[in-house]
Structure 1
């Protein structure tokens, strides 16, 4: 039985990913910062709840102890993320970046570090970092594209940092399949449901990369069509 933790899984892409992986036979922990919403989501899914705030060291450490006591972990999906208020470069300050980096960058590092001992005990450990097409320097630099038109600094910068973290962790731990994925512009709370895809469509690549075997890719960056340019 494969045991999977998904952060930010009480709604949106995380919830749909949990639903699909449960269908595939995984035992899923719904990671949620809001304990009550997490409890409701876990009950709807037939999943386990773990209360976890990725911005809080104590919360993450307690979540790791709880999952360890229940038997361990095979797959970690770092899905929790925020976009914040989109402001252009001229109005961007350190205070604009700080909350996004706290969740989108420090959060995955904090969670991965805490659960790394459990993953290293797994026979087939996997980490999926939910990134964005806006993390691609190549794509954001391409004129006349939606990624080029995006004016914000903080969110793309945080996801580009997450991509680098993905690569460096994959190099450091070759026994773990560690990849970043781009779900596409999916209608979720993160973007005020402006996205053009459904969560069913967006979750596809997350679900696929959560199930890669030990002969699968690692240190990569993928969307539903395949590898993406950095």
Structure 2
């Protein structure tokens, strides 16, 4: 796919780099970088194996589907929220290319929070402190706006530098995103217990998805042998 031209609604994108190849026995999507005619970068998520589906009824209490964000309904719901909630990753457009679906997303320059923490500890823990504090504030903003990520692990958190030297945090990969306005959240009554989805973002026991952002920090504490150091920073910012 590298080097291919992808014709969108109002511009053409050139695929320049592959970031992630789907792995395992349940392939989801390949992730690429692409550029438009002005050399502006975007993320291209290519659902190469199966057609994205909004709803898979494995459970009456959830709306699973590994390619949900590529479906017409879910993509449009997220895109509609982009203008109202700037913390959401911008969903640019949805394209059918060679009989397969792909979506064009905002490009984030940076690294995953998991990688960032391990790279900078113990060399410069002030950087780690600032990053986790910013993450706590970002997730608090999400949850106060009634969004829940739905697949909460630290590789779904991107961190990048801003021009003023501070950090920018973006949650990525919205295949399981929840909000009270969304069609399938209403269908399975996601917000019957208002805090259920939010609590799952922090500590999740569902083996199908991420085990929770707070649990992820706890796991890193064990790996780095720094008990309570990461979670205490997060909790101070989040609560």
Q: State TM-score, norm by structure 2.
A: 0.28
Task: Tell me which protein shows more helix as a share of its residues.
Answer: 1
Q: State TM-score, norm by structure 1.
A: 0.29
Query: Max radius of gyration: which structure?
Result: 2
Task: Tell me which protein shows more strand as a share of its residues.
Answer: 2
Q: Which has the higher contact order (CA 8 A, sep 6+)?
A: 1
